[in-house]
């Protein structure tokens, strides 16, 4: 299938919910603990080298970053502070903002939760899963950096994570470096974004 997310472009960065675009259309959020590979996953999804900024410094994303897919579809890159060295007041602020985002954002169709396959289901991940479950928002777990493990251990980690997921959740292995799992992620998000499968530019093979 042709990737409809290649046309994604940066729109804005919001520190508060009232700075976000109008609550309409379809929005998919991408969340992840610091250094889990979230920015690399976004760049692989959109087939762009630097749409999302990558950094070796955990906690660089300190706002909700909005990317436009088309007039009715958006990707929201959520801040991740799993182990980042940021002030407690900033963590508290973003905890409050994220909770409100999940509770009030009506256009939110689903969340892609990025986890390092070697270190999944940390407290940050559990919090995100709990918010998704409490608000009935589907969650798709992306187990990144799968190229760091051999196939056997990677599949074992995937099965372990799947057993612990709440309802309306799914999971897959992924590697931005080798592009393993990119097509599966594109298909999953195409469903959430309600792209017409019979349309020429989203037709599945």
* pLDDT for the residue 42: 96
Alpha carbon distance 76, 79 (integer Å): 10
* pLDDT for the residue 63: 87
- Supply 12's token pair: 């804005």
* pLDDT for the residue 200: 42
Residue 114, C-beta contacts closer than 8 angstroms, at least 6 positions apart: 30, 31, 32, 33, 36, 37, 38, 41, 142, 144
Where in the sequence is the domain holding 197, given as residue range(s)? 4-202
DSSP 138: -
* pLDDT for the residue 61: 56
Q: For the packed helices 182-192 and 38-46, what is the interaxial angle rounded to 10 degrees?
A: 80
Q: Give the model confidence (pLDDT) of 58-78 as tens digits.
A: 555 578 999 999 999 999 999
How many CB atoms lie under 10 A from the CB of residue 53? 13
Alpha carbon distance 82, 123 (integer Å): 8
Structurally, the chain folds into a number of domains equal to 1
- Count Cβ neighbours within 10 Å for each residue of 110-134 and write b for 16 or more, e otherwise: bbbbbbbbeebbeebbebbbebbee
What's the CATH number where 115 sits? 3.40.50.300
How many CB atoms lie under 10 A from the CB of residue 144? 27
Mind giving me the DSSP string for 50-111?
SSSPP-SSTT---SEEEEEEETTEEEEE----SS----HHHHHHHHHHHHHHHHH-TTEEEE
The HSE-up count of residue 2 (CA atoms within 13 Å, CB side) is: 11
Q: Give the model confidence (pLDDT) of 161-191 as tens digits.
A: 999 999 999 999 999 999 999 999 999 999 9
Q: Are 148 and 35 in contact (CB under 8 A)?
A: no
pLDDT beneath 50: ranges in the chain: 83, 198-205
Which value, in Å, is the radius of gyration of the alpha carbons in the chain?
Answer: 16
- Supply 88's token pair: 């407690």
* pLDDT for the residue 117: 98
């Amino acid at each position: 299938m042709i990737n409809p997310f290649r046309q994604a472009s940066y729109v804005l960065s919001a520190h508060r919910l009232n700075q976000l675009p109008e609550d309409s259309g379809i929005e998919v959020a991408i969340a992840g603990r610091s250094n889990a590979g979230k920015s690399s996953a976004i760049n692989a999804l959109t087939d762009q080298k630097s749409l999302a900024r990558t950094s070796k410094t955990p906690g660089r994303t300190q706002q909700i970053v909005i990317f436009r897919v088309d007039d009715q579809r958006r990707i929201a890159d959520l801040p991740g502070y799993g182990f980042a060295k940021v002030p407690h007041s900033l963590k508290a602020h973003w905890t409050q903002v994220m909770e409100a985002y999940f509770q009030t954002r009506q256009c939110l169709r689903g969340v892609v939760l990025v986890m390092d396959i070697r270190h999944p289901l940390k407290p940050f991940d559990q919090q995100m899963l709990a918010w998704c479950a409490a608000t009935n928002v589907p969650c798709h777990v992306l187990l990144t950096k799968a190229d760091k493990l051999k196939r056997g251990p990677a599949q074992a980690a995937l099965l372990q994570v799947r057993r612990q997921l709440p309802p309306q959740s799914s999971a897959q292995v992924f590697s931005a470096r080798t592009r393993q799992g990119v097509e599966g992620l594109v298909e999953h998000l195409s469903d959430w974004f309600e792209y017409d499968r019979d349309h020429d530019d989203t037709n599945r093979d």
